[in-house]
Chain A
Amino acid sequence: MKKYVKMILAASLLYGCTNGNIAAVDNRANIDNSAKPAVVKNNSAANGQSIFAVSDTFQTQNKRNLLLSSLSGKPTVIGMIFTRCGAACPKITADMKNIGEKLNANREKVNFVLVSFDTERDNAGQLQMFANEMGLDKDWLLLHGSEEAVRTLSVLLNVQYEKDAEGNFSHSNVISVLDKNGVLAFQKEGLDPDQKEMTGKIEELLK
């Protein structure tokens, strides 16, 4: 009986913790928004909060090497996927496409980036094929990188993922928006058909 109580306690602790985790993401987003004018003014690498500080090199679907810092100057919508994913990943991609469409003329003022969890199988060719399948135009960046680089990015974007024995991935579904300085400005967890909130945030960043 005592054991049961402990297990329930443990389970509720886990639940509490993960909730707290998500709340923390939201807090940060708020702080970043309020700090934005100062960031723009002094351009001081966004008070050390910029994800562009990461020095890992990624490769695009066109086999170009890319540092995240090269995304600076425009807000970036970024998602993490793997191309052999059954259901959730095409959905993330579709959601991001929707965001792009809703931005209309502002679409070209925003970077759209997908980064693969699958460091073994998702090479440039595979990513290009996925782009074609999903109807992603050449303005999209599909990136792959080392295990270290991908894990680091996942930690920075609060994306959880785990590889199984078959080489597939369980992962949380998060779409993130970085401001033009690479600071995490907004995140949406879960597959949500309504991107109004997301596009609203992006338009704020473009102001």
Chain B
Amino acid sequence: MKTVIAILFFIICGPCMSQPNKNIAASKMVKIDGGSFKTFYVSKTDKPIIVKPFLMDEHAVTNVEFLEFVKANPEWSKSKVKRLFADSNYLEHWKTDFDIGESNKNIYNSPVVNVSWFAARAYCAWKNKRLPAIAEWEIAGNAPPKNTAYTSITNYIMQWYEKPSLPVLPNVKSTYCNTYGLYDMHGLIWEWTFDFNSFISTGDSRNTTNDDNNLFCAGASINVTNREDYAAFLRYGFRGSLRGDYCVSSLGFRCVKNIPITNKL
């Protein structure tokens, strides 16, 4: 049965697989259609946010890719990085400043994790790219899998959330490919967004906000537009718990960029 699924996956996801493995560091980008986006927690009267089309890395930035960046920008090496920009867990799984480590060979092409928001932004800027906004990431991530084994993205995500993390982080492109051609939007790591510190709720929201009625923490999800989407609860909650210098072993990133004007149809 597993083989059948694997074959099905291969056939259905064929176009996504066209990049051979050796090109995995080429960081291909795919076009994401824009559209209107409504956060799951907003009240019905809130207007949706309009998102313009953009390009997004087809997979998360890998350890090998990040190493290139660190070599070119030594101020982002483990020993040189400013504590303001990355906590002490920064790249803690790497052997040294410029060496991922021979024993870590199996994660060379796995998403780089233990990177702060500042480091992720610096990487994207170095590539003439940027971090995606939450709205962009959510639009991209909500596209259904090409793999028909999963009929519901929410079911798939919840299965992942329920699983304990693996001792060795799998390589990029090891989970599913969605209809945009993006890999591993869920199922491998959490990803940084530019505006991760967007105002959702704070622990003491009762006395600090001007929007109490729209908040799910104090308001017990009264205004949640899609009550099914508890996966999004977790994602937004995780983002809300982060700070820019945090380096977490399940958190990486991928970059986006605006569509160059000459390429517009």
Contact = CB atoms under 8 A, between A and B. Distances in A.
Interface of A: 3, 6-7, 10-11, 13-15, 17-22, 24, 47-51, 53, 85-88, 151-152, 154-156, 158-162, 164-166, 169-173, 189-191
B203 A15 contact: yes
B88 to A, nearest CB: 11
B194 A190 contact: no
A10 B84 contact: no
Interface string B200-217: 111110011111000011
Contacts of A151: 194-195, 197
Contacts of A189: 202, 204, 208
B243 A162 contact: no
A165 B217 contact: no
A158 B203 contact: no
Nearest 7 CB-CB pairings of A with B: A17-B241, A165-B47, A14-B237, A155-B244, A48-B82, A10-B233, A162-B198
Contacts, number: 127
Nearest to A21: B241
Given A21-B243, A155-B243, A49 B83 contact: yes
A51 B234 contact: no
B190 interface: no
The DSSP consensus for interface residues of chain B is loop
A164 B46 contact: yes
A190 B46 CA distance: 25
B202 A21 contact: yes
Contacts of B47: 164-166
Interface string B114-129: 0001100000000000
Interface in B64-101: 81-85
Interface in B231-255: 233-234, 236-238, 240-244
A53 B201 CA distance: 29
Contacts of A17: 237-238, 240-241
B202 A22 contact: yes
A48 B30 CA distance: 37
18 contacts: A10-B230, A11-B216, A15-B203, A21-B202, A24-B243, A47-B83, A48-B83, A49-B83, A151-B194, A151-B195, A156-B244, A160-B199, A160-B202, A162-B200, A165-B46, A165-B49, A171-B210, A189-B208
B216 A53 contact: no
A24 B221 CA distance: 26
Contacts of B197: 151, 154-155, 158-161
A193 B12 CA distance: 62
A164 B41 CA distance: 13
Given A18-B202, A19-B203, A171-B210, 8 more contacts: A7-B233, A20-B241, A86-B210, A162-B195, A165-B47, A189-B204, A190-B204, A191-B208
Nearest to B242: A21
Contact of B234 (A13, A15, A24, A154): A13
B14 interface: no
B102 interface: no
B158 to A, nearest CB: 8
B26 interface: no
A187 B198 CA distance: 19
B129 to A, nearest CB: 13
A118 B83 CA distance: 29
